Structure 1
Amino acid sequence: MTIRRTLPGLAVGALVMSLSLALSAGPATTASAEARVPAAPAVSEQQVMPHLRALQRIADRNGGNRAHGTKGYAQSVAYVKSALDRAGFRTRLVPFTHDGAPGNNLIADWPGGDPDHVLLTGAHLDSVKEGPGINDNGSGSAAVLATALQVAESGLTPERHLRFAWWGAEEQGLIGSESYVSKLSGADRRRIDVYLNFDQAGSRNTRQWLVVHDDEHGETEAQQAFEAWFAERSIPTFDIGVGGSDHESFGNAGIPSSGFSTGISDCIHEACDNLANVDPKTETTSTDAIVGVLWKLAATAPRH
């Protein structure tokens, strides 16, 4: 996580409740679309934590990190890509160069859905050179991967086109995501209905989930959906602005954004950001939230 903004400290209990009530009464066309899609599956710890253990092993055998330009990062990309390829995704590596070293973003598309209305879900996969980056941001990467694999296992047939992404060199200044966004045509940018970002999804001692509020676009349908999901389970949240992580690149390009973080851990950007720095229960809850909201947004017919 690249930190660029101080988080506001106001609770959003009343707001969350009002959003939950508002979401319960959608238009008939939305309800009809959702009826055609099965309920979101529940995710178990056994479906997400093995990915984090795999990333830890990759770091262990490559000098203790998974940073841009290293074998640790290249093997992390290969691990995620292999899982997606086996599941039936169309994957591609999008190369870029930073600080004299080549890097790749990994993009995975699930067949089907309206290509003019893309739901893009992502996380940065790289660590810093000081450590393995298992919470920052193996946790977000693993949660997004587990979500994508749930899509495949369920054979989801979404209204919107589903795309997943894992960014490189984000720890060096949001390089990978910015490279991806800068190469999109104006038409391709407009096709992305919303970008969902997840950074540090498994922090220990998490008491509330920090839900991204899009400063430019206001409350997006995704933000409302996340806050409603957490409110239904009596899990506290509060808003954070678009800034400090990969969604900043999309916000700067005028693409609506949301997502969440579980907060900055004590071991951020240090060798102690290892597997022991992730709480499996928090990681599983985060993955469940992503799956639940993605299922809802995927089933929602675009309004524009």
Structure 2
Amino acid sequence: MKRRFAMAGTLLALVLGFGTLPAAATPSGTSPASSTTALAAPDIGITAVRAHLDELSAAAARNGGNRRSTGQGYRDSVAYVKGKLQAAGYTVTEQPCTSGCTSGAGPNLIAEWPQGDANSVYMFGAHLDGVSAGPGMNDNGSGSAALLENALTLARENPDMRNRVRFAWWTDEEQGLNGSDFYVRTLSSTERSRIKAYYNFDMVASLNGGYFVNHITSAAAAPMKAYWDSLGLQPEENTEGAGRSDDYSFERYSIPTSGYAMGASARKTSAQAAKWGGTSGSAYDPCYHRACDTLANINTTGLDRAADGIAYTLWQQAVGTGGGGTCDPAGVVGNGGFENGTAPWTGTTAVIAAHTGRTAHGGTRFAWLGGNGSTSTESVGQTVTVPADCTRASLVFWLQIETAESGSRAYDTFSVRVNGSTLATWSNVHAGGGWTQRSADLSAYAGQTVTVTFTATEDYSLQTGFLLDDVSLQSA
């Protein structure tokens, strides 16, 4: 994981649903039972994952004790991962980072399993480089090794695929997410639209770690959270890692993301220690960006749980005929992050902009309705078709409410309407707390083409601004 820079913003994810899980906890090293419409994910052998870590450690030891993106330790790491993938039958691409990367940085490594719908791609990635200070076994040999064994397991199992799976090992993450940024930035808009979700794995074996899921309430995170829930782990949001790893490169282009992490330099709380074990008040990874990030700095139990959770997610999202069937809400809402101009939004489209003085939830643009301090009504809306097979469908969005009003009376309101009928309303009473995820149930409109409208109405005095961003349709 890179050190924190001036980055902000997350993106609400939307992907297909996932199979049911047992209520009882499943022991580590096993996979939860899948639904009858999805194949069960295989167990990922922790011994094999540790063997990959041994090789990455040896690459660092041969080359000055590190795997920095510009050094031979990184290039040896690339050669090892590439060799294992090629032997398993993958066509592997080394992608040189020709702009934005540190001078002399090695390549990204990309491998795609050549089955499933090429227009529906699920990406799984981890950064392969480390810092100069040490061999980088947790950061990020752990994510790289878990990902590699998942790719090899997929090749061995060779199941029927409904969606395409693409694996990536990124260069130059520690210097600013440069490898992944180059990859996403140089894709065409058509290629980006084919990526339905990106999953990131950075530091998944922290010795004093916790169990964190990126964007834990999003649809993309659903299978990841479900697996760890099935182990009784009670995972939490990865707040420490927000904007600090390669998932952020995808978020910036409105691609849904999630992933696992076990923590870096932040300190474990007493409540977390009570439910996960470990030492409260101490860093999740006591060797973060230090020479002691060696093989001795690996939490094998956490690594095992992460590797199996990756497999569960991959199988649910891409393997067989389950995990959502033909209910695919991706792309139903056009320009949901407002990053691509105003179309197909109609109404008071002047409210859509990169407003100064406020930070968007994701990207740089959002819709700012109200905030006038006088009698006014502003709205934005668009026509959408709710897929007929989405028996559970929700319009999900992020809302920030700022007000000069006081008290518990609703003077200024924000409503969600479908074909003129109001589904949900918020007001100045709900102000505060920054960006908050909200939703409105569209299940009753499955198979219908409807007009969805967001409307802000203010009274004659004291402003209330309703900031809207990252609108999507979710099927679960």
Unaligned 5+ residue runs, structure 1?
A: 7-21, 26-32
Structure with a larger share of its residues in strand: 2
User: Which of 94, 100, 109 is the matching residue for 2:103?
Assistant: 100
Residue number in structure 1 paired with 2:211: 209
Summarize deviations over 1:272-296 as a string: whole Å, max 9, x none: 1111101122111110111111111
Query: How far apart, CA to CA, are the structure 1 residues paired with 2:118 and 2:39?
Result: 21
1:1-304 alignment, distance < 5 Å: 1-4=1-4, 24=20, 35=36, 38-97=39-98, 98-206=101-209, 208-213=210-215, 219-240=217-238, 242-264=242-264, 265-299=285-319, 300=323, 301=325, 303=328, 304=330
Query: How far apart, CA to CA, are the structure 2 residues paired with 1:175 and 1:296?
Result: 30
Structure 1 residue 250: Cα displacement: 0.4
The residue type equivalent to 1:234 in the other structure is G
1:234–1:102 distance in 2 versus 1, CA, 3 Å? closer
The residue type equivalent to 2:66 in the other structure is N
Unaligned 5+ residue runs, structure 2?
A: 7-17, 22-33, 265-284, 331-476
Higher relative contact order (CA 8 A, sep 6+): 1
Structure 1 residue 268: Cα displacement: 1.0
Structure 1 residue 221: Cα displacement: 2.8
Structure 1 residue 23: Cα displacement: 5.9
The residue type equivalent to 1:82 in the other structure is G
Structure 1 residue 56: Cα displacement: 0.4
- 8 Å contact 2:3–2:174 — kept in the other structure? no
1:35–1:277 distance in 2 versus 1, CA, 3 Å? same
Summarize deviations over 1:193-213 as a string: whole Å, max 9, x none: 00000000111123x311000
Query: How far apart, CA to CA, are the structure 2 residues paired with 1:223 and 1:3?
Result: 24
Query: SS where residue 46 of structure 1 aligns?
Result: helix
Query: How far apart, CA to CA, are the structure 1 residues paired with 2:311 and 2:44?
Result: 8
Structure 1 residue 2: Cα displacement: 1.6
- 8 Å contact 2:208–2:286 — kept in the other structure? no
Summarize deviations over 1:13-52 as a string: whole Å, max 9, x none: xxxxxxxxx9639xxxxxxx97565311112221210000
Structure 1 residue 66: Cα displacement: 0.5
Query: SS where residue 93 of structure 2 aligns?
Result: strand
Structure 1 residue 177: Cα displacement: 0.3
- 8 Å contact 1:90–1:108 — kept in the other structure? yes
The residue type equivalent to 1:212 in the other structure is N
Query: How far apart, CA to CA, are the structure 1 residues paired with 2:94 and 2:46?
Result: 29
The residue type equivalent to 1:251 in the other structure is E
Query: How far apart, CA to CA, are the structure 2 residues paired with 1:225 and 1:76?
Result: 30
Flag as ranges the 4+ runs of structure 1 deviating above 6 A: none
Query: How far apart, CA to CA, are the structure 2 residues paired with 1:285 and 1:58?
Result: 25
Query: How far apart, CA to CA, are the structure 2 residues paired with 1:220 and 1:84?
Result: 31
Query: How far apart, CA to CA, are the structure 2 residues paired with 1:34 and 1:87?
Result: 29
Aligned length: 278
**Matched-pair identity in %:** 41
Query: How far apart, CA to CA, are the structure 2 residues paired with 1:118 and 1:23?
Result: 19
CA RMSD of aligned residues (A): 2.2
